[in-house]
Every structure is written in C-alpha cells, then in structure tokens.
C-alpha cells in the first residue's frame, strides 16, 4: 500500500514556512515542508560553515513581537531560556567621536531607557533631540494616512524636510537605517522606515531587545520543526523544489529531484528571489503576479569572527555610523559560547562587499574596527563571510505597493514570506504572521475553515 499524497506542500523552512506548516499540522492537515538547505531556519538559520559555527546574520528578538513568541510557546519552546534580554544598544561614532548607551526597555531598564535619551548629550544635543520629535510624529501619521506616498521619499529627504539636524541624522538615523537594514538614510524608504516603527508605538512599553542563547536553528527553528512532526506533518531538508506543477491554471504540486510531487495546495514560503523564480515560468503574464515579480532585491553581507578573547566587555548590539560596521555584537556569552571571543558584524553598504575577497573584507573590518576603538588585529582565530545576494526585497523608495498578499487568485497556491504584505515588514514577526495568513488561505482553499 502506498502512502497517501500529502495534501499541502510548503516550500521553504524559514520562519514563514515553519509557521505555516505548524498551523496546518495543528489543524490535522497532512503537510509536507520541503527545505532546500541542510537545516531549517532560512535567514534565521545557524550551521557549520567549513567547521565554524555561523548564522545568517546577527538577529535581535524584540519584546513587542507577539506572533513569534506565541508560536514558540505552542511549539514547546521556553522563550525565557531561549533568549538573553540585553535591553540596551550602544552607538559609537568613529575616530574618537562620542559614544552612548541607550536602554531599550522602559520597564526593565527604565533609568537607562529614559535617562539614556535625556543624557548622552555628546551623541545628541538637546537641539538634535528636539529636531527628531516633529520628524517621528509626522512620519508615523503619514504612514497611517498615506503609506504609498511616504514610500516615494527617502528617510534622508523626509528628515531634511522636517529639519532634523545633521548630527541627529548621522548619530541616530544612520544606526536606525543602515544599522538595522544595511542601507543608509539616503537610500532607505521613509515608508518602510516608519512602517517598521509603527507596530512598536502602541506596544512601546513592551519594548525589549533579546539575543539568542545558542544558534537560531538549534534553539528556535528545529524545535518548531519537531513540533510540526509531532503533530503529524513532515519536514524534509536538502529538498530543493525546482518548479511548480501547473495544470489548467491550477497549481497541482511541485517537482523535486526531477520528480513531480502532487498536492492539493502549495505554499511558496521562500524569500522573494526564489519565489520569483518559481512563479515566473507559469505566471509572468498574470496581472496579479506582475507587481511582485518586478520587486527588486537587496543583498546582505556579514562577517563572523572567532577571537582568542572577547572583543567587548559585554554582549550587546553596537552601531558604528560612518563606518562599514553597520551593526555588530560580541556573542561569546550568548549565541556562540564555544568561543573565547565571538563577534558578528553586518556590513554597509552590502553591495560594496559582494565582489570582494574574504581577506580584503577582513582588512576593511580591521581598519574600521580600529576607528571604533575595537582591537581585533592579532586576535582573530578564524572567520567566515556570509553573503546573501538577495536577502530582502529592496527597501529603497517605490516598492511597498509591489508586495503581494498571501492569498493568490490561483487555485492551489498561496504565498508566505517576509516580503508578503503584513504590518511587521521584513522581520521574524512579519515572517511568522505571513505564514499564519498563508495557512488561513490554505484552509479556505481546501474548505477547512
């Protein structure tokens, strides 16, 4: 007797695919998740790169996330043990410039959070701080009223129009743009910038910043995959989907290893570039898909170093505005405890590093680390460069409206992924929400709601 075909196929085992497959398995729907990589997690994966434990890039868990922690709790993950709440960030201006530590939790670090903003006058003078008020207030309002219009401007242009001082731009808005999503305010869409902030505002009291206590696949994604299996689903790694099987305009399965696998419904839960590759052959001329197929992508490049001693006295997130080190963190007491010292660095602008050799990249890192008062030379035991040529959809102006919904007009097909439309944009929370919405679309599609 042959096993019945799975009813739903989920393509991609990042947080969006895992969240979708979990919801379906929880509802008793036979689901098979196919992940191209050797481990689950996608951009929240950790793995061994030529013998060195690495991650796709430095990740921070935000205290106001709700869908992600709820999913984790339902999957049996103890979120308190999974995280170390660092609750502060540091901004270091290079070449002997000022540095400041800002608290990120009004409840758990009230003095640092409120005091950090009131003090740190070398970093941001009272005039700089005052200049930011109208900018944030207007931007959040404009995002609510006319997000697509806001998406036509850059953060820098919007800040200039609202008279933000140059120092506030450099010392705060650069960390909030390049530091978080790798591109500077001159290229960053004001629509996306305020879209990222908007969900945090009503939940500001819940704001916290957490680092992972272990590799993200190990402590977060593999346990979700296990929970899917326990609920009767199947998760297969090393299974790259090569194409969709489309019959009479209906998606009826996928091909893997040259073999067709039938399904009642397929959820494409990859990042934007592989989704476009899978969808283009069948839907290039379909008006619903045309906008998302024209959505450009943006890369990311991170450098991860093992050191013979910690580079910093505490594990916390640091921004280095005006250097290639957009954002970095010591991780030897949190995510990568096997090493004496361990630092993950996100580089900006990423395009500059795509064609550089690893040793050349390391040279730039040494040079800019010195400008930030970090002594890495002679302490690096080994390092890896992790490049994602198509990490996010482009965060430059003019693309917000191209993001698709999770439910498509094609029978048998839904989309999940951080590029699909939801309020948390390109974040882990956004990915989980997109997976849940795709699961709802599947349940509607197969008449199980």
Ligand X SMILES: Cc1cc2nc3c(=O)[nH]c(=O)nc-3n(C[C@H](O)[C@H](O)[C@H](O)COP(=O)(O)OP(=O)(O)OC[C@H]3O[C@@H](n4cnc5c(N)ncnc54)[C@H](O)[C@@H]3O)c2cc1C
Q: Where do contacts with ligand X occur on this chain (CB under 6 A)?
A: 11-17, 34-37, 42-44, 56-60, 240-241, 269-271, 274, 300, 302, 346, 388, 391, 417-418, 426-431
Our CB check for ligand X shows the closer of 135 and 437 to be 437
Distances (CA, A) of 136 to 162, 164, 198, 272: 9, 10, 10, 29
Our CB check for ligand X shows the closer of 24 and 168 to be 24
Provide the 10 A C-beta neighbour count for residue 99.
18
Provide the 10 A C-beta neighbour count for residue 349.
17
CB of 83 to ligand X, least distance (A): 12
Our CB check for ligand X shows the closer of 341 and 417 to be 417
- Do 400 and 195 form a contact (C-beta atoms < 8 A)? yes
- Do 153 and 397 form a contact (C-beta atoms < 8 A)? yes
Q: Partners of 101 in the beta sheet? A: 90
Q: In what order do the strands lie in the sheet with 88-92?
A: 99-103, 88-92, 317-319, 325-330, 341-347, 297-307, 380-393
Q: Distance between CA atoms of 401 and 430, rounded to whole angstroms?
A: 16
CB of 239 to ligand X, least distance (A): 6
Our CB check for ligand X shows the closer of 190 and 279 to be 279
CB of 147 to ligand X, least distance (A): 19
CB of 415 to ligand X, least distance (A): 10
Our CB check for ligand X shows the closer of 153 and 344 to be 344
CB of 427 to ligand X, least distance (A): 3
Our CB check for ligand X shows the closer of 131 and 344 to be 344
Q: Distance between CA atoms of 215 and 336, rounded to whole angstroms?
A: 7
Q: Distance between CA atoms of 307 and 362, rounded to whole angstroms?
A: 13
CB of 41 to ligand X, least distance (A): 6
Our CB check for ligand X shows the closer of 135 and 283 to be 283
CB of 34 to ligand X, least distance (A): 5
Our CB check for ligand X shows the closer of 138 and 213 to be 213
CB of 36 to ligand X, least distance (A): 4
Our CB check for ligand X shows the closer of 241 and 376 to be 241
Closest CA relative to residue 436, chosen from 15, 120, 5, 2: 15
CB of 96 to ligand X, least distance (A): 29
- Do 383 and 305 form a contact (C-beta atoms < 8 A)? yes
CB of 68 to ligand X, least distance (A): 8
Our CB check for ligand X shows the closer of 65 and 143 to be 65
């Amino acid at each position: 007797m042959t096993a019945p075909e799975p009813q739903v196929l989920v393509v991609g085992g990042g947080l969006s695919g895992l969240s979708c497959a979990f919801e379906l398995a929880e509802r008793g729907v036979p689901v098979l998740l196919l992940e191209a990589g050797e481990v689950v997690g996608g951009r929240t994966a950790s793995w061994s790169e030529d013998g060195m434990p690495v991650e796709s890039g430095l990740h921070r868990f935000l205290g106001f996330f709700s869908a992600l922690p709820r999913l984790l709790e339902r999957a049996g993950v103890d979120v308190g043990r999974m995280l170390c709440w660092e609750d502060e960030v540091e901004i270091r201006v290079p070449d002997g410039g000022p540095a400041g530590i800002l608290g990120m939790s009004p409840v758990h670090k009230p003095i640092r959070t409120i005091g950090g903003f009131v003090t740190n006058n070398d970093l941001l003078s009272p005039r700089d701080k005052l200049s930011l008020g109208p900018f944030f207030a207007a931007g959040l309002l404009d995002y609510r009223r006319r997000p697509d219009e806001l998406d036509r401007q850059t953060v820098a242009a919007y800040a200039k129009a609202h008279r933000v001082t140059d120092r506030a731009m450099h010392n705060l808005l650069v960390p909030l743009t390049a530091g978080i999503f790798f591109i500077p305010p001159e290229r960053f869409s004001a629509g996306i910038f305020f879209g990222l902030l908007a969900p945090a505002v009503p939940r500001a009291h819940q704001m916290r910043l957490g680092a992972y206590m272990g590799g993200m696949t190990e402590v977060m994604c593999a346990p979700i995959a296990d929970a899917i299996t326990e609920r009767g689903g199947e998760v297969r790694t090393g299974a790259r989907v090569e194409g969709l099987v489309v019959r009479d305009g209906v998606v009826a399965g996928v091909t893997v290893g040259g073999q067709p696998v039938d399904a009642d419904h397929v959820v494409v839960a990859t990042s934007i570039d592989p989704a476009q590759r899978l969808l283009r052959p069948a839907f290039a001329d379909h008006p619903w898909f045309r906008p998302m197929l024209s959505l450009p992508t943006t890369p990311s490049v991170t450098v991860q170093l093992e050191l013979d001693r910690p580079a910093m006295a505490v594990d916390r997130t640091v921004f280095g505005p005006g250097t290639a080190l957009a954002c970095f963190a010591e991780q030897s007491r949190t995510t990568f405890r096997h090493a004496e010292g361990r630092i993950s660095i996100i580089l900006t602008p990423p395009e500059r590093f795509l064609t550089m050799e690893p040793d050349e990249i390391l040279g730039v890192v040494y040079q800019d680390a010195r400008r930030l008062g970090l002594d890495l030379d002679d302490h690096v035991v080994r390092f890896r460069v992790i490049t994602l040529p198509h990490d996010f959809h482009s965060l430059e102006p003019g693309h917000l409206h191209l993001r698709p919904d999770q439910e498509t007009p094609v029978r048998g097909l839904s989309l999940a992924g951080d590029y699909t439309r939801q309020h948390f944009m390109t974040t882990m929370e956004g990915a989980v929400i997109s997976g849940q919405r795709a699961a709802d679309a599947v349940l509607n599609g197969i008449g199980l709601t």
